[in-house]
Amino acid sequence: MSKASDLWISFSSTILDTVYPPKCALCRSLSKSNPCIQCIAEMEAADPVFSYWKDGPVDFRATIYRYPGRAGQAVRRLKYNRATSLAPFMAYAIAGAIVDEGLEFDLAAPIPIHWTRLASRGFNQADVLAERLPNRAACLRRSRATRPQAGLSTDERLKNLEGAFEVIRDVEGKRILLIDDVVTSGKTARECAKVLKLRGALEVGVMAFCGDPLD
């Protein structure tokens, strides 16, 4: 990059900071960090962060924050308002929690979105959140578009996801850590784990930025 363009970038960002001072993407208060310190403090830690599922193909799930409040708002702003300025904080939170919890895995696999949604949103939030992880690898493809799970009955949700994912790499004997922005009912993770295990995955867990506590 030339010196002139360096200068222009630093000049224009100074102007932009003056005209549009950096604001927290959640509460809109002036803040150099995103989200601001106050909003991070308001995020409610999941308790426990790490829990086992005794049934189904998912061996464990870990969520850092509870969905209600600021953490859920961060997920929605990232996904629906493209507030990508929140992504570094969220990606570091996931990477840090994995170290804190001592989670071991061979492949970190972001849960994919369908290409039509990727085209309209411009990014897959799970990809962005997995950015800081070692052994990040796409293991699945969303082979067909699905309706949003929210607002569907339990039966409809299961049908909606059936056959939606396809394994696209060798996972035989591997421990897979699925990464997503939010886990609520866990049906998406279960469907992913089901197809991965059919292809010989040894263990499948899921780590999400936030989620609801298990009933």
Smallest separation, CB 172 to Zn ion (Å): 45
CA pair distance 161, 145, nearest whole angstrom = 9
CA pair distance 167, 156, nearest whole angstrom = 23
Residue nearest to Zn ion (CB): 24
Of 75 and 178, nearer to Zn ion (C-beta) is 75
Smallest separation, CB 47 to Zn ion (Å): 23
CB distance 115 to 121 below 8 Å: no
Which residue ranges make up the site for Zn ion (CB under 5 A)? Answer: 24, 26-27, 35-36, 39
Q: What is the helix (H) or strand (E) element at residue 127, kind and residue range?
A: helix 125-129
Angle (deg, nearest 10), helices 187-198 and 154-161? 40
Of 61 and 70, nearer to Zn ion (C-beta) is 70
Smallest separation, CB 96 to Zn ion (Å): 20
Smallest separation, CB 34 to Zn ion (Å): 8
Of 36 and 206, nearer to Zn ion (C-beta) is 36
Please tell me the chain's helix, strand, coil percentages from 3-state DSSP, rounded to the nearest 5.
Answer: 40, 20, 40
Of 8 and 80, nearer to Zn ion (C-beta) is 80
Please, which residues bridge with residue 208 across strands? 63, 180
